[in-house]
Amino acid sequence: MKYTLLVTSLFCLISQAAVAQSSTEPPELDSDRPNFTQAATVIPQRTLQLETGLGYEKEKSDNEQTRNYLYPTTLIRVGILKKAELRINFDFEQENQTLTSKPGATISEAKERGFDNVQIGTKIALVEAKGVIPDIGVLASLSLPVGLKEYRPPHAAPSIQMLFNSHFSDKVELQYNFGYRKHKEETDYLVQLLYSASAIVHLTENLQGFAEFQAFKTHQQAAENSIAGGFMFKLVPNLQFDILGGVGVSEKAPDYYTAAGVTWRVPH
């Protein structure tokens, strides 16, 4: 019941933000997808932004193969204050696991499907860039114990990240984050450190390219290190498409992953 009331209140707030958007010149579109690294900036006050897409990830060991599908992964951002935004995130995930014998014959297959990564949070812009000082922000979230039982945490799970943007010119910027979260891994519930960096180049007025390094370090386990790259293309001022591809560069990381999606700011 309490989660139903929470969701109802959040969607009322989203509706009010959409109606309250002004008719002035629309602000520049700034998306937090498709890369893992998050910008230190927030969307303008009284704006509503939808960021959604599809994802695929594959990991293979000697006798086990895991494929994860996201269809979709969705982030809703609401500009509630000049320096703060509300964020609601949820994924619909399907995980396929295949066990094989050494000659390659399939022993068993398992499939799980349902909602995962249901989060509510806020991003706050703390410091504006000046000289060598970067933009600085903070992102705090709670993963809620809702969704498929195999995916959801046993209770509300916190995460926090510090966000930085350094601008080297009008065309080149570096975004970098570090933080921590409580993460469910199989049957365990562990502390995990997060760190990433993304170099972004504005190739044209409407096209950006990026290269990214990201890592997850779970307590008493090897790090999951990956590299990725992709493009973001702004079709019109309030609509952007993106594509990403990445590979694991450590044993614990997935073999490869891809994603594609769209960012849409609700028109005034």
* pLDDT tens track for 80-91: 999 999 999 999
Q: pLDDT band at residue 24, thresholds of 50, 70 and 90?
A: low
Q: What is the pLDDT of residues 90-117, one digit of tens each?
A: 999 999 988 876 655 667 788 899 999 8
**Structural domain contains residue 29:** no
The CA-based dihedral angle spanning residues 45, 46, 51, 52, taken in that order and rounded to the nearest 10 degrees: 160
Please tell me whether residue 7 adopts helix, strand or coil conformation: helix
pLDDT of residue 224: 95
Please tell me whether residue 205 adopts helix, strand or coil conformation: coil
pLDDT of residue 187: 66
pLDDT for 197 beyond 60: yes
Q: What is the pLDDT of residues 144-153, one digit of tens each?
A: 998 888 778 8
113 touches 148 (CB < 8 A): yes
**Structural domain contains residue 33:** no
Give the count of domains, the chain.
1
**Structural domain contains residue 130:** yes
**Structural domain contains residue 92:** yes
pLDDT of residue 43: 96
pLDDT of residue 7: 44
Q: Which two tokens stand for residue 87?
A: 């964020």
**Structural domain contains residue 32:** no
Q: Which two tokens stand for residue 195?
A: 């760190």
**Which residues, in sequence order, are bridge partners of residue 163?**
137, 177
pLDDT for 2 beyond 60: no
Mean pLDDT (the chain, rounded): 88
**Structural domain contains residue 20:** yes
The CA-based dihedral angle spanning residues 39, 237, 88, 112, taken in that order and rounded to the nearest 10 degrees: -100
Please tell me whether residue 18 adopts helix, strand or coil conformation: helix
Closest CA to 31 of 15, 45, 49, 48: 49
- Rounded CA-CA distance 247/68 in Å is 14
Q: pLDDT band at residue 155, thresholds of 50, 70 and 90?
A: confident
The CA-based dihedral angle spanning residues 145, 150, 151, 152, taken in that order and rounded to the nearest 10 degrees: 10
Provide the residue range defining the domain that includes 44: 2-24+38-265
**Structural domain contains residue 126:** yes
Q: Phi and psi (nearest 5°) for 15?
A: -60, -40
106 touches 99 (CB < 8 A): yes
**Structural domain contains residue 155:** yes
| Range with the poorest average pLDDT among 57-61, 173-177, 202-206, 247-251 | 57-61
Average the pLDDT over 191-197 and give the result.
96
Domain CATH code at residue 180: 2.40.160.40
